[in-house]
Amino acid sequence: MSETIETDALIVGAGPAGLFAVFELGLLDIRAHVIDILPRAGGQCSELYPEKPIYDIPGHPLVTGQGLTDNLLEQIKPFNPTFHFNEMVETLTPTGTPEQPSFEVTTDAGTKFKAKVVFVAAGGGSFQPKKPPIAGIEAYENKSVFYAVRRMEDFRDRDVVIVGGGDSALDWTLNLQPIAKSLTLVHRRDQFRAAPHSVNALQELIAAKKVDFRLGQVTAIEGADGELSSVTIRGNDNVDTVVSAHRMMPFFGLTMKLGPVADWGLNLNENLVPVDTEKFETNHPGIFAIGDINTYPGKLKLILCGFHEGALAAQKAHRYIFPDKKLLFQYTTSSTNLQKKLGV
Amino acid sequence: MVKTSLYDQANRYGAEPGGGAPTKAKITFVDSHGQARTVEGETGSTVMETARRNDIPEIPAECGGACACATCHVYVDEAWVEKVGKPSQMEEDMLDFAFDVKPNSRLSCQITVRPELDGLVVTTPSQQG
Ligand SMILES: Cc1cc2nc3c(=O)[nH]c(=O)nc-3n(C[C@H](O)[C@H](O)[C@H](O)COP(=O)(O)OP(=O)(O)OC[C@H]3O[C@@H](n4cnc5c(N)ncnc54)[C@H](O)[C@@H]3O)c2cc1C
Ligand code: FES
């Protein structure tokens, strides 16, 4: 088990709200660690609409979801935030007092944090793999049915079935085929929405009979004690075939689930966290909620609102972290102090 | 099922009927338990938006119509398949992320309500996300 990471501020979620909060906190000398279950920053903007234009970011007549994310990452660079990707925040436990809050935070990867304030910027919830509607699949999850590969060795010399036709499905087909005993790829059509070089490599493996490609879908699984033995594939011709399988990986993309945020003792209103509009603080002193995850009278789920919320929440965070320091209102345009922090 | 809904502001980003007074078309949504709900959709908006505005269940439409989530999957009633038409390449790609895709599967955010779709019947699958 790793040692505890200490930080002033811990930000849950690397969407636009979480990213800009790094900036506003940084200007106030507050260092932040940022955790996201996704492998990269940007939240909905990079996950759902990286190529689509956004027209209502102040000062940017047009910027794409990915463009905005890249700009935010550039903007917060001077504050050197530490990102922890591919980790989901599971527990958030208050350990301090209302005047001097402090929190213990753990992730599903076992990382532990101690933070003085927590910014919940969890958006529409954590992005999690979609689970196919196959009866009894829960009993096999993380034992023989996986939505991500943590250990390649789990697949060595096994009959592996991969379901899907996107980049993840193809990448893992290509990666696992050399070590698996057999690899069956199941997809609903013979077209793949993936990088051309992966598609080419896959087609070569299929031609060489190293990957058994089946058109159709997995409709049932069989096994015992969480260990798969076979899966039933219903072909597009409606004929069922049973294929030996020790491991299965379904790749149907991601969906947003509120997830562990619900278990942190925060008030919830229809899956949103109510906050005040002065500090954007939750019912728990020291825990702030900004961006799409929060709610208050008049709330709009807009990126620009998340930016504003982060700026005001940072002011209150400063009072918790530096109770004796007076907060001076300054402009980045004219304050040499702020410019020094920004390295300009 | 309570789901985090991103798109309470569908109006803000969604396609709004352009120019002139919109006409209406009746759309019937049959849920996975067989319950039918008939509502009026405005021409120019999408079948997904019509569902959201009328609190139709089983269409979370997480991405708000960006053809980026496949959680607005519907089965078009066989009698309407031809009139509704075929999915675009982009929609076909996104359908890879829907469950139990059939020849009459469509993403409802990609179906624009048109006068000739008056009476359209679609069924929602039991699981979207
Ligand atoms: C198609 C589409 C178009 C849009 N267009 C616009 C537009 O034009 N203008 C506009 O202003 N807004 C637009 N929006 C809305 C905008 O994207 C959101 O308001 C914005 O992304 C919210 O930012 P956020 O940082 O609050 O949350 P998100 O972007 O949702 O990011 C939250 C992050 O937190 C992570 N997370 C959650 N829980 C956990 C946990 N327990 N552990 C680890 N990580 C966690 C999630 O994985 C996610 O990455 C659009 C949205 C969509 C879907
Ligand atoms: S609403 Fe997301 S694909 Fe239709």
The verdict on the CB of residue A50 being under 6 Å from ligand 1 is: no
User: CA–CA separation, A170 vs A8, rounded Å?
Assistant: 41
User: CA–CA separation, A25 vs A9, rounded Å?
Assistant: 8
Q: What pLDDT, on a 0 to 100 scale, did the predictor assign at position A150?
A: 81
Contact A132 B99 (CB under 8 A): yes
pLDDT in tens, B24-45: 999 999 999 999 999 999 999 9
Q: What pLDDT, on a 0 to 100 scale, did the predictor assign at position A126?
A: 87
Confidence of residue B56 (pLDDT cuts 50, 70, 90): very high
| Residue A333 annotated as binding site | yes
A65 to chain B nearest CA, in Å? 12
Q: Is the pLDDT of residue B3 over 50?
A: no
Q: Is the pLDDT of residue B18 over 70?
A: no
Which atom of ligand 1 is least distant from the CA of A88?
42
Per the CB < 8 A criterion, the answer to whether A243 and A221 are in contact is no
Q: Is the pLDDT of residue B17 over 90?
A: no
CA torsion through residues B38, B39, B44, B47, sign? negative
Contact list in A for residue B70 (CB cut-off 8 A) is 252-253
Q: What pLDDT, on a 0 to 100 scale, did the predictor assign at position A21?
A: 98
Q: Which residues of chain A have pLDDT under 70?
A: 1-2
CA A134 to centroid of ligand 2, rounded, Å: 22
The verdict on the CB of residue A65 being under 6 Å from ligand 1 is: no
Which atom of ligand 1 is least distant from the CA of A65?
17
Q: What pLDDT, on a 0 to 100 scale, did the predictor assign at position B1?
A: 36
From residue B47, alpha-carbon distances to B40, B72, B128 in Å are: 10, 9, 16
Kindly list the domain boundaries of chain B, sorted by start residue. Answer: 3-123
Q: Does the global pTM surpass 0.90?
A: no
Considering CB atoms only, which of A166, A189, A292 is closest to B6?
Answer: A292
Q: Is the pLDDT of residue B121 over 70?
A: yes
Domains of chain A: 4-127+255-342 (3.50.50.60), 131-252 (3.50.50.60)
Q: Is the pLDDT of residue B2 over 50?
A: no
Q: What pLDDT, on a 0 to 100 scale, did the predictor assign at position B129?
A: 83
Q: Is the pLDDT of residue B12 over 50?
A: no
User: Chain A residue with minimal CA distance to B91?
Assistant: A193
For chain B, give percent helix, strand, coil, nearest 5: 25, 20, 55
Considering CB atoms only, which of B9, B93, B127 is closest to A133?
Answer: B127
Q: Is the pLDDT of residue B13 over 50?
A: no
Q: Is the pLDDT of residue B4 over 60?
A: no
Q: What pLDDT, on a 0 to 100 scale, did the predictor assign at position A53?
A: 92
Q: What pLDDT, on a 0 to 100 scale, did the predictor assign at position B14?
A: 44
Q: Is the pLDDT of residue B15 over 60?
A: no
| Mutual angle of helices A303-321 and A16-27, in 10-degree steps | 40
Confidence of residue B5 (pLDDT cuts 50, 70, 90): very low
Q: What pLDDT, on a 0 to 100 scale, did the predictor assign at position A149?
A: 87
Considering CB atoms only, which of A52, A188, A256 is closest to B96?
Answer: A188
Q: Which of B47, B49, B67, B122 is the best mutation target for the ligand 2 pocket, counting ligand atoms within 8 Å of the beta carbon and taking the most?
A: B67
CA A97 to centroid of ligand 2, rounded, Å: 44
Using DSSP's 3-state secondary structure scheme, residue B46 falls into strand
Helix boundaries (H) for A177-262: 196-207
User: Chain A residue with minimal CA distance to B127?
Assistant: A133
Mean pLDDT of B51-57: 96
Confidence of residue B21 (pLDDT cuts 50, 70, 90): low
Contact A48 B69 (CB under 8 A): yes
Which atom of ligand 1 is least distant from the CA of A44?
29
Between β-strands A4-12 and A32-35, what pairing exists: parallel, antiparallel or unpaired? parallel
Strand partners, A241: A233
Q: What pLDDT, on a 0 to 100 scale, did the predictor assign at position A220?
A: 97
User: CA–CA separation, A184 vs A119, rounded Å?
Assistant: 44
The verdict on the CB of residue A129 being under 6 Å from ligand 1 is: no
| CATH class for the region spanning B3-123 | alpha beta
Q: What pLDDT, on a 0 to 100 scale, did the predictor assign at position A209?
A: 97
List the residue whose alpha carbon is closest to atom 27 of ligand 1: A123
Considering CB atoms only, which of A132, A258, A301 is closest to B8?
Answer: A301
Which letter, b or e, does each residue of B101-110 get, where b requires 16 or more Cβ atoms within 10 Å of its Cβ?
A: beeebbbbbb
